[in-house]
Every structure is written in C-alpha cells, then in structure tokens.
Structure 1
C-alpha cells in the first residue's frame, strides 16, 4: 500500500468535492462514484459531476439498489452522507435491525462495509456537526449508533468538528469529519497503541491536518455497550447534553472525547478576496424597490405573531450585518442562497454598482471549487447556489487527504 495511489469509492458524491480535494494531489483516484437525489426528477448534481469527471464508473441510481457485487474493491470509502433522516431502532426481529426513514443514508454505507468481502482500509466521512447531539430526546444517540456499528465492523475512528474559516479558508462552514481505519491496517494498531489524548491533539491524521492549540476539558471516556438496538433505545436517556465533544476517537468499543480549540496563525481569506465585482451581471443587483424588504428581513424584530392554530406569541430576533462584511470570512452558504427574492440568510455585498447578491462563481470560490464548476446548460443560477449549499469545502478535503496519505506512508 505504501507509496501507491489509493483507489477511492465516492458515495453521495454531489458535484464532486471529495474527488476534487483528493485527486488534486495525485495520490488518490476515484474508481467508482454514486450520486442520487431521491426527491427530485432532475438530477442536477449528478449531471454536473458527469460533465466535469466523465460518465465512466459514475452511477446516478439509488445506492440501495446497487448489488454489492457491482461495487469494486477500493482502499478508501468517502462520502458526505445526507443528514436529514437519522436511524431508528425497530426490533431484534426485524431483518434489517435498524433502518432510516428513507432506507438510504448512513445504512447504505454500512451495508457496503458489512458485505464487502474485502473491506476498505480507510473511511473519510463528512456531516453536519449536529450529528454529535441528535436527536433532542436522546442526545448523541445517532452518533453512538454509527460508532458502535463501525466498531462492530472492525474500524477504529477519529473525528473532529472543523470550521473552515478557523484555518484561513474564506467561509465559516462548520462540519464534522470522521476518519476510519480497519483493524487490518497499521494505522489502526498505531491508534490502538498511542495514548488517545496524544492521538487527538498531536499524532492523529486530523491533528496533523488541522493543528489544535489547547483543550478546555479533560478527556472523557465511555464504553459503547450492548447491541445497536440497545443503544438506539437506551443511549443517554434523560440527559440534556451529548457526551460527544468536538474531538474524539473510538477504539475497541471505547470512546475518548475532549473539547479542543484550533491553532492557526497563517493567512486568512475573507469574503472580499473572492468577489468578482467587475464581471457581475446586473441581474444580481438588488432593485431599489426591494430594499425595504431586505432591510426588514435582515433587521432586528420584536413583534406579535399568530400561529396556524390561532395561538398568539411574541417573536423576536436580532439584526444581521447588512450588507455582509467583506473583511471577514463569509457566513455559511445555505441551499436557499440563490434566486432574487429577499431573504434574511442570503449574502448581500456592496459593489460599485450597488448592493447585490453573490454570483454562482463566488459561491463556488467560498467552497474552494474551480470557477464555473457547476456551470452547465439546464442548471440555473439558483440551482447552482443550491448545489454549493450542499457542498463541502474542498480545501479541507485536500488537507485531510494529504495527512492521511502521509500517515499511511510514514
């Protein structure tokens, strides 16, 4: 394995953020990819992916319907798996044991790992950071189920919540990244032998990619006991806080976790660095007649409102910076970023021609994608914005990929 290019399976591929970040080094090659959006007829993300990387070995089908025998052996499985549905236990009598509302999502990855005879040596996964504390009534249950199922399949794990802007990237985008190492690898045994606090703070793949300055809490540990259904039904019941902090490891069923702070002193990109003011179509300018609506939505409010059931209540919210500060990292891009309608959450910047929304190219730059990566006939500007709202920051993938490859070859 040392020195060789690693073969990658890319699931929930979106428009290819994992692929861009990993293949840029020449140390990884995606040999099979899948992207399927079950809620829409038009498959824009998959269409963009094919236009950039080609259709060979890319599949725009429900991953649950793909036979495991059709999925090639691979060294590294990556995926930013969807987060809108989480697992629920049924009963021990149910053949599947656990299932998501749609039947896809996390369990599609689990199914591949469980049934592949030659399991991938490494995992590289991404999700929203609320995964650590969902659902509300059983804080951390979903993450505990994930960790337990991976432990059962022979993987040691490490995770970190990373905000891209904390490490000089142009967008405040906080996501959890998980790395997995199969027990057949040297990395698994290295993690097993290393004091867990040392792995989290200095020795691990994530610590080498994104250094940590300090910890504000002692290491906490817990044992994931029982089977998946036991954990689903009983984990952390009655507790108001999740036991999982923003940094952690799992090895042999035991979880170590602590709260960490980023350590970064290098250059920092800001929103102003990615703007293309001289090239912006006038369609992105905010019409003067719409400005009062924008100002209202962005402003502070304290007003009476009435719910659909007739219940009256007092609604309040603070003001937002309007227009956005171009001398700081941008706010997080959301899927509703596109379109002309006024919105509290869309970005607005001051340009020589007046206040305007961000362009698709600027949204791509905030996620560190190449300019016009999502430009394709039939893909509207609003849809391009939606695709970036679902994407990850390519620069984070690049750094973690480089750290993983260096660790494998050390």
Structure 2
C-alpha cells in the first residue's frame, strides 16, 4: 500500500494473505481497510475475478543460493516446503486473470528455477538492485506485465545518509563489551569479532561510507542483524534504520517488539523499487 500510494495508484479494494501476526498488526495500524485472509494455502481465488492487480513474493529459503539451512535434497527449489508457495501465486494468477501482475523473488536462485518461474508466468524477469534507491544491496528478480519497467535512477545513497546520530542510539544496540579487529580492503568489511566469541557472531560490520548487505527476515533480530562501525564502536542497526534501508517511513513498524520489526522489514519489499515498477501503470 505504501508503494501504491507513492506511485499515485488509487486502490478501491485490497486483499492480503499473510500469516505473521506482527506483520498483520503493523498493516492494520496503517491501513485498516485491508482485508486480511490469513493462510494462502487452500484459498479460493475465484471470488477475486475482476481484480486489476496481483502482487506477491513467495518465500525464497529453498531458492536462495546464499541460504544453507534449507538445502536438502528433498527441500530445494520450487518444490521446497517454503518456496512451493509460488504455486499458490500461479493459482491466483490463472484463476483471477488480472490485468496486471508483479511477482518477486531472490536473484541468486539457480537458472533452472528462474526459468521455471518464467515459464509459469510467461514473462522474463528484470533484476533490480535496491542499492539504486537505498543504502542496501538487495538484488531481486521481478516478473511483471506492467509496461516499460526500467532500472531506477541511482540515488547514490550510502549508510551515512540514513544512519541515526550516535548520541541518540540507546545503549542496548551497542556491542561495547566485544573486541573487534578492523581489517578488509576498501573498508567494505571492516571488523570481525576476535577469538573467544561464537563463530556465528563473526559477522561483517559495515563502514558508513558504503552500503550494507541484504536485510534478512528470519532471525533478523539476532546474529543476522546488520552491524555498523560508528564513532569508534560497533552497534547493530535500529529498526528505524532498517525501515530507511527498505525506504519505509520512519517508525512504520513501531508497536511490535524489535525482533518482529526486523523480521517484518527484512521479509518485505523495498518500497521505492515497487513504486517505481507500479509507476508504469500510468502509461496504460
């Protein structure tokens, strides 16, 4: 809805399938008119015949080349227990037959899975990196029949453009008791935890002169939380900074716990990328 508003697209009726309670709560706070239908499994899409636009993005865990948690012989690709939800989108598309559609998924998937999605949807994807409109590296594939979709203009945004002032950051976000070693070429990877800490916490810390890596959904409040080096110390990004990286309004996800805010934001779309794509609807 934020993207539709930014693109200047009026909405008469909006139906959403979502099971995360905290994400639903955030949505209801801002857009109480959205009709929430819960689990998409088993949905009867025939009641939506006549709708103009279908948007969606199925889970990427079984598709992402960067994810090892779900990489098992019987759980990979579009047949995986999470990413198979793609076929619910296909069902909706074939049943509703909307004028326009938009589907998103991770760019790091195997070519065979990308080609399978292309065959189902009947259009070639365009890869857009959210880095063009934000301080986050986030390469995603977008399949759509919205006309004239091009690359957004590069705004040249880096972390220091969206970061909060260090003096305003509560102490709970800082890692002052942990010793970091500074290293890395071009200061892109500038610090890792020294020996004595869990290997799972040995994560990259980003320089404010550059962009941060892709925000994560699952586990985003823990070790996957993005960290930055600011004023000689390391801290994790705040929820507001996560919102800015996804080009959401400040405090959009306020009202639920931080961990749920990180998850919802990481699982979402970069608003300005979607608004850019939806802008093509003005030409039809």
Pick closer, same or farther for the CA change 1:364–1:291 going to 2, 3 Å. same
Number of the residue aligned with 2:278: 401
1:286 matched to 2:252: no
Number of the residue aligned with 2:139: 174
| Aligned residues between the structures | 257
Pick closer, same or farther for the CA change 1:72–1:46 going to 2, 3 Å. farther
Number of the residue aligned with 1:9: none
In the TM superposition, what is the alpha-carbon distance from 1:149 to its structure 2 partner? 2.6
In the TM superposition, what is the alpha-carbon distance from 1:352 to its structure 2 partner? 4.4
TM-score, normalised to structure 2, is: 0.77
Number of the residue aligned with 1:206: 149
1:355-385 deviations in Å (ceiling 9; x for gaps): 3211000010010001111111xx2112211
Number of the residue aligned with 2:214: 332
1:361 matched to 2:275: no
In the TM superposition, what is the alpha-carbon distance from 1:270 to its structure 2 partner? 0.8
1:147 matched to 2:112: no
CA RMSD of superposed structures (Å): 3.3
1:106 matched to 2:86: yes
Contact 1:348/1:357 (<8 A) preserved: yes
1:145-196 deviations in Å (ceiling 9; x for gaps): 3232334xxxxx232111121x242211111111126xxxxxxxxxxxxxxx
Report the 3-state secondary structure (helix = DSSP H, G, I; strand = E; otherwise coil) of the residue aligned with 2:61: coil
Number of the residue aligned with 2:104: 126
The 5-angstrom pairing of residues 249-268 of structure 1 reads 267-268=155-156
**Residues in 2 aligned to 1:294 and 1:333: alpha-carbon distance in whole angstroms:** 22
Contact 2:133/2:273 (<8 A) preserved: no
1:164 matched to 2:43: no
The 5-angstrom pairing of residues 10-25 of structure 1 reads 19-25=1-7
Point out the structure with max Rg over C-alpha: 1
Report the 3-state secondary structure (helix = DSSP H, G, I; strand = E; otherwise coil) of the residue aligned with 1:178: strand
Report the 3-state secondary structure (helix = DSSP H, G, I; strand = E; otherwise coil) of the residue aligned with 2:127: strand
**Residues in 1 aligned to 2:83 and 2:14: alpha-carbon distance in whole angstroms:** 21
Name whichever structure is richer in strand by fraction. 1
**Residues in 2 aligned to 1:101 and 1:348: alpha-carbon distance in whole angstroms:** 31
1:385 matched to 2:262: yes
Contact 1:85/1:105 (<8 A) preserved: no
In the TM superposition, what is the alpha-carbon distance from 1:85 to its structure 2 partner? 4.5
In the TM superposition, what is the alpha-carbon distance from 1:102 to its structure 2 partner? 5.9
**Residues in 2 aligned to 1:80 and 1:395: alpha-carbon distance in whole angstroms:** 16
**Residues in 2 aligned to 1:326 and 1:99: alpha-carbon distance in whole angstroms:** 39
**Residues in 2 aligned to 1:57 and 1:267: alpha-carbon distance in whole angstroms:** 32
Number of the residue aligned with 1:34: 16
Report the 3-state secondary structure (helix = DSSP H, G, I; strand = E; otherwise coil) of the residue aligned with 2:3: helix
Contact 1:364/1:370 (<8 A) preserved: yes
Contact 1:64/1:104 (<8 A) preserved: no
Out of 23, 28, 51, which is 1:45 matched to? 23
Contact 1:35/1:46 (<8 A) preserved: no
Report the 3-state secondary structure (helix = DSSP H, G, I; strand = E; otherwise coil) of the residue aligned with 1:124: strand
